[in-house]
Structure 1
Amino acid sequence: YRWQELDTVKNNETHTVNADRTKTIIHNEITKVHIDRTEDVFGKHTETIKGNRNVKVTKGDQLLTVEKGIREVTVKTGTSTETVEKDISITSISGAIHLTAKTQITLTVGKSSLTMNSDGSITLNGPTHLALNPQ
C-alpha cells in the first residue's frame, strides 16, 4: 500500500481542528522549517521516545525557563555528564545548594583536590602550601 499526497501552498495556510486529532506515521517523518517555528500548548505536553533523542543548536542559544514549578532530570540507568568549554555558574538566589553522593565527592582544580568519602574521611591534596584564613 503506497499513498502519496503532494500539495504546494504559495500563501498563508491555516488548519483548525475543533475536536481530537490523532496522527499515525508508519515509517519516518521529516519536517523542514526554513524560517522560524513556534508551538503553543495550553495544557500538558508529553513526549515518549523509544530510542535516542538528540537536540543540536548549531548557532545561537538554548534557553529553558520554568516560570512556576520544579525542574527535575532523572537518569534511571546510566550516567550523566555535562561538558562546557568555558565557565559554569550555579546560583541559588534565595536558598542553598546541596550536593549528595553515596560514595564520594571530589573537587579538582589543577594540581589540587578535595575528596570526601562516605566513611567520613576527607583528603586534601595539592602543593605543600595550605592557607587557613579564619575570620
Structure 2
Amino acid sequence: MRVPFAIPAPALKLAAVAAFSVVVALGLALAGALGHWSSGPTTVTTVQATVLAGVPCDGSGLERVSYPTDHGTQEARLDACGHQSGEKVEVTVGDGVVHLARATTGATLDARPFAVVLLVFAGIAGAWFTQLKRRD
C-alpha cells in the first residue's frame, strides 16, 4: 500500500509565514536601499551669505546669517563660529537648514542601502540558525 505524500498543516503554515516574512523583509530592504527613508535634504543650493552676528568659538551659540532668495533675503542660524559681522561666507541651504559650504560632516558614500540589505540578510541567517538549533 502506498501512502500519499502529504505535508502536515503546521509545516505549511510555518512555510507560509517564513515566505511572507522574507518577502516583506526584502521589500523593506529594497525601499531602504532606494533611499525612501533618507533624511538628507532633497535640494541643496550654495549661496553667498552675510554674517549678521558672529559668535566666538567658545560654545556660546550659533551665528546669524542673511542670504538672498527668490523672494528677497532670508535670515537663518549658521552652525559655525569665529566669523566677523559683515563677513561674506559661502553656505549651503537645503530644506531650511544652513551649513558652511565647504564643511563636510561624514563620508561621501552613503552606506545606508548596504547596511539595510546586510541587516535583512543577518536577520534571515539568524532565523535559520535558530531553526537549526531548535531541531537538536
Shorter chain as denominator, the TM-score bin is under 0.3
More helix by share: 2
Structure with max Cα Rg: 2
Ranked by relative contact order (alpha carbons within 8 Å, sequence separation 6 or more), the top structure is 2
More strand by share: 2
